[in-house]
Amino acid sequence: MSESLKRTYRLHDPVSSEVAKTLAAYDALTQQLLVNRGITDAETAETFLNPDYDNHLHDPFLLTDMEQAVERILAAIEKEEQIVIYSDYDCDGIPGGVILHDFFKAIGYEHFTNYIPHRHHEGYGFTAENAEKLAKEGAALIITIDCGTVDHAAVEVANKAGVDVIVTDHHEPSDTLPAALAVINPKRADAYPFTGLCGAGVIFKVVQATIIRGKEKGVIDLTEGWEKWWLDMVGIATIADMVPLTDENRVLAHYGLQVLRKSRRPGLQHLLRKAGGNQRFLTEDDIGFTIGPRVNAASRMDTPEDAFHMLATRDEGEAGERVRHLEKLNNERKGVVAGMVKEAKKRIAGMDADMSVIVIGNPEWKPSLVGLVASSLSEEYVAPSFVWGRDGKGVLKGSCRSAGAVSVVDIMRAADDALLGYGGHHAAGGFSVDDTGVHTLHQALHDAYHEVVKSEETHIPETLIDTNLTLSAVDNALIRTLSSLAPYGMGNDKPVFQFQDVVPQQVAVFGKTKNHTKLTFHLEDGMLEAIAFFKTPEQFDIVPEVDTAHTLIAHVEESFFRGRKQIRLRIIDIL
């Protein structure tokens, strides 16, 4: 692998004396963490540290087409028309579908169905085939969630069949919008002040607006603030879909976590108990590593409705059964992906080509799983990774992940002639290729990568370190400081700390397959553990040794796994 792509680390600049005076209400570490996130004035700091549901959310009617959408939804309710909720199959669309489902149930409206396309057989988005099918089944109104912005053909089919379509989405619009009754998307060039909402966030705004107008017209009678109970779904989607946790998303994620900790959904309660999580202390990590993967496992391995019903059901028995099924699917998914990664690594080891960009695939691989393989490979080899498989319709489709510095979209744009289609953002994307082009895909992407790298000033992945810490500083006070800046995610990265010249008294592996690392440090007031999941000591560039000084790059976290409260380090690297 190219040495130029070896990760480097750099400390953030210290807080200036001028900014320190402005943020004098906060301790030195909080000041440093705020400044590292671009927050240098007292007002912005107060808003960031104390999200307010009533004052920090934007007016939903600022979204273009909101009035038309709300008017049509209320008319459908009054006329008792058949409404179809058409949501994407991932951990944004599914929770979004649950929000609208729960809204209709709460107001006593029964003339609706939820439809989620099958990932492998139907593919992504609102399709013309499904528009025709739903029209024949009696739909009068279709409301899309997390899809539809570029689905012109499907909207046209629905229109011809006399079915109205309301698109709610957050993906990038093309030059023209579909001819839907309403297209509600914060990325449209309109008056809405924040473009970063996820799909579930957008449909939550639609529900907010519908309740407001519905109450004014006497069509809806809901207890004031009842919609806040659906913030658990908004929180899951906002964190799982990796939208920026800034502005309105920070408020939605913050309150979403609060509701999740109290959520009465039996499916979530069963899921967390089975996974060893503690609902009272649930964090964004529980969404990222426990809830999200199990919701996504449904569409990756089977039918997405399994995850939808797990989240939506109020029946304890059904919830338990759904969770057991999702747990089984998730374990199967882990096994299949592990086998794919193993095969990929074996093939990579036998390749003589320049591997500054990885391109690998197998027509037997499911496209629904190749993104997970691409993530593993990009992290392992510190190189952009493009992985492909064949879907249920015979099309070669792939996913790609950046190693952090070079945009996969830039690479694909430079290799445009080799691809049937592509999309995504800097860190991740998707593509399709024909059966002929796949044989020359590696060379095309390799050439494109080097073309992109030449045009950029640097392509060395760099991780910014928030500050230096000592092991003795890792205590409850530090956890309180870190919690005040949570939840973490895109746009608000989890703090990274450097621990210099620390000496482990024990180096061990743990887990059923002994594939996790644990370093133990003996301090004056007890022991401190530093762990790394899915990485053994030998897999670090610097292999940790007992009684030897090392520099650790790590996060600090509080774990409540299996009821055991523990403050520990999560190792990023050993220097």
Q: Per-block average pLDDT, block size 10, for the chain (575 residues)?
A: 62 97 98 97 96 96 98 98 97 98 98 95 92 98 96 98 97 92 92 94 98 96 95 97 94 98 96 92 94 95 94 97 96 95 94 85 96 93 94 92 86 95 84 95 94 68 91 96 96 96 97 94 94 94 95 95 88 95
Task: Report pLDDT for 457.
Answer: 53
Task: Report pLDDT for 379.
Answer: 87
Residue-range domain boundaries for the chain: 3-13+463-574, 55-260, 264-337, 351-454
Nearest to 411 by CA among 383, 370, 375: 383
Task: Report pLDDT for 1.
Answer: 38
What are the CA-CA distances from residue 376 to residues 70, 93, 178, 381, 509 (Å)? 43, 24, 37, 9, 20
Task: Report pLDDT for 26.
Answer: 97
Ramachandran area for residue 10 (φ above 0: left; ψ -120 to 50: alpha; else beta): beta
- Give the whole-angstrom CA distance, residue 379 versus residue 43: 38
Task: Report pLDDT for 351.
Answer: 85
Task: Report pLDDT for 428.
Answer: 86
Structure-block tokens of residue 550: 């090392």
Domain at 351-454, CATH class: alpha beta
Task: Report pLDDT for 564.
Answer: 83
What are the CA-CA distances from residue 131 to residues 144, 156, 160, 179, 338 (Å)? 11, 9, 10, 14, 37
Running DSSP on this structure, what letter comes out for residue 346?
H
Domain at 55-260, CATH class: alpha beta
Other Cβ atoms within 10 Å of 308 Cβ, number = 26
Task: Report pLDDT for 456.
Answer: 58
Task: Report pLDDT for 393.
Answer: 86
Task: Report pLDDT for 124.
Answer: 86
Domain at 3-13+463-574, CATH class: mainly beta
pTM of the entire predicted model: 0.91
Task: Report pLDDT for 4.
Answer: 40
- Give the whole-angstrom CA distance, residue 111 versus residue 128: 23
Cβ proximity of 464 and 498 under 8 Å: no
- Give the whole-angstrom CA distance, residue 497 versus residue 554: 5
